[in-house]
Amino acid sequence: MREVFVAGIGITSFTRLEYPLVEIAAYPGLMALRDCGLNKIDQLYVANMGAGRVNHQTGLASAVVDNLSLTPAGADGIENGPASGASAIKQGFMAVASGLHDVVMVIGAERMREVNNLEATDFVATLTHPMAEYIYGVTLPSLAGMFTRLYMEKYGVTSRHLAMVAVKNHQHAMDNFYAHIHEPITIEGILDSPEASTNNPYVADPLRFYDCCPVSDGAACLILTTADIARKTGKPLVRLAGVGQATDTHSVADRKEPTDLLAVREAARKSFEMAGVKPSDVSVAELHDAFTILEIVESEEVGFFPKGQGHIALAEGATKLGGKLPINPSGGLKAKGHPVGATGVGQAHEIVLQLRGEAGKRQVKNAKVGFTCNFGGFGNNVVCLTFVKEK
């Protein structure tokens, strides 16, 4: 198997974008080509979840490869729910590692704001079990709400801990130009003040407005290649060292221990094992905080903290910039935004910036090993990536 390196990266703002989806997808591709000075690729993978349903567009990869004038390169679309982005990176990894292709472009793109919030939520809810969940009106926030209640009762996580995740990630996003939300918040404002119930109403009890990520448009791109080509670009070398994926039951109610996220545990284990590193070697991580509770639980399941201790590490400040293990320096899904199919590529984009030392004010010092967790469904399909800075 050949080693796989990240040559170029690009991203759009994660926000409401008034451009056609194809152009949203193409823009970070252009940025990534400029970033590494390449102008030809062998293969394009485009991750997207809802173009067929939300944007009335199918065959997105063919449209994007033409828009970037990269034909006759191969082009495939990847749909794997909210984990589409990291799944597409996994395909890119396999293509380069196997020797099939030398230069692979991976784009994640989504335009959800073309429809209203309720329609966007309903579109994401179509990934739930059609007969055992969807027909009851189950949405992703409601699955997260039921999960949060169990976690609170079992491990003593409180609304205050959840709010700490939101406050931290909003603060991190202040230094990220591309983030969806540039709005500092305080625990007092969203929990303690008399206005808190208006500022921060319940969405899916016990989860409130500020526990949920926004609905975003956006796209991100990674160009993956071999060691030889990556060296010629002159960019700091970042290697995609570990790829792990695992699945869990489709219906959330079916899980033996409903507070476990076994797919996260297994995907992270595989990713670390392939990269030959331990969770304690990680200097910076991007976790899939579509809901604040998920950042806490994932930080435990991937092995950063013991089960049930994630909220304690959070409260001690270990996971904020300047802490022992900064989590979501980009602002995370919570504040950077969550254009579903683009999210996994966006996470990888942030980790590459951090390992290159190009993250500006939110740079994690001496970042050597970076980790992403891209969480599909409600934990039924998870892809974890480990990146290593090379000399």
Partner 1 sequence: MEYNIYAYKCKRCGHVQYPYRTICRNCHENDHNEFDIVPLPKKGKLLTYTILYNPPSDYETPTISLGIVELEDGNRITGQLKIDKPKTGMAVVGRVEIVRNESYNEYRGMVFYKA
Provide the binding-site residues for partner 1, judged by CB under 8 A. Answer: 117-119, 121-122, 125, 129, 131-133, 135-139, 141-142, 145-147, 149-150, 153, 201-207, 250-254, 258
Judged by beta carbon, residue 129 or residue 161, the one nearer partner 1 is 129
Could you give the CA distance from residue 373 to residue 298 in angstroms, rounded to a whole number?
8
Apex 166 CA angle, 163 and 169, nearest 5: 150
Task: Report the nearest approach of partner 1 to the CB of residue 388 (Å).
Answer: 37
Task: Report the nearest approach of partner 1 to the CB of residue 216 (Å).
Answer: 17
Judged by beta carbon, residue 303 or residue 379, the one nearer partner 1 is 379
Task: Report the nearest approach of partner 1 to the CB of residue 120 (Å).
Answer: 11
Task: Report the nearest approach of partner 1 to the CB of residue 119 (Å).
Answer: 7
Could you give the CA distance from residue 161 to residue 187 in angstroms, rounded to a whole number?
10
Per-residue tokens: 228: 């030889």
Task: Report the nearest approach of partner 1 to the CB of residue 266 (Å).
Answer: 17
Judged by beta carbon, residue 117 or residue 280, the one nearer partner 1 is 117
Three-state SS for the chain is: CCCCEEEEEEECCCECCCCCHHHHHHHHHHHHHHHHCCCCCCEEEEECCCHHHHHCCCCHHHHHHHHCCCCCCEEEEECECECHHHHHHHHHHHHHHHCCCCEEEEEEEEECCCCCHHHHHHHHHCCCCCCCCHHHCCCHHHHHHHHHHHHHHHHCCCHHHHHHHHHHHHHHHCCCCCCCCCCCCCHHHHHHCCCHHHHCCEEECCEEHHHECCCCEEEEEEEEECHHHHHHCCCCEEEEEEEEEEECCCCHHHCCCCCCCHHHHHHHHHHHHHHCCCHHHCCEEECCCCEHHHHHHHHHHCCCCCCCCHHHHHHCCCCCCCCCCCECCCCHHHHCCCCHHHHHHHHHHHHHHHHHCCCHHHCCCCCCEEEEEEEECCCCEEEEEEEEEEC
Judged by beta carbon, residue 254 or residue 316, the one nearer partner 1 is 254
The half-sphere exposure of 286 on its side-chain side, counting CA atoms within 13 A, is 34
Judged by beta carbon, residue 188 or residue 254, the one nearer partner 1 is 254
Judged by beta carbon, residue 118 or residue 366, the one nearer partner 1 is 118
Task: Report the nearest approach of partner 1 to the CB of residue 38 (Å).
Answer: 45
Task: Report the nearest approach of partner 1 to the CB of residue 133 (Å).
Answer: 5
Task: Report the nearest approach of partner 1 to the CB of residue 207 (Å).
Answer: 8
Judged by beta carbon, residue 130 or residue 360, the one nearer partner 1 is 130
Measured in whole angstroms, the distance separating CA 190 from the mean position of its chain's CA atoms is 25
Task: Report the nearest approach of partner 1 to the CB of residue 52 (Å).
Answer: 19
Judged by beta carbon, residue 23 or residue 122, the one nearer partner 1 is 122
Per-residue burial over 156-165, b if 16 or more Cβ lie within 10 Å, else e, is ebebebbbbb
Task: Report the nearest approach of partner 1 to the CB of residue 379 (Å).
Answer: 14
Judged by beta carbon, residue 138 or residue 321, the one nearer partner 1 is 138
Judged by beta carbon, residue 118 or residue 322, the one nearer partner 1 is 118
Residue pair 299/327 in contact by the 8 Å Cβ criterion: yes
Could you give the CA distance from residue 59 to residue 66 in angstroms, rounded to a whole number?
11
Judged by beta carbon, residue 125 or residue 174, the one nearer partner 1 is 125
Task: Report the nearest approach of partner 1 to the CB of residue 204 (Å).
Answer: 5
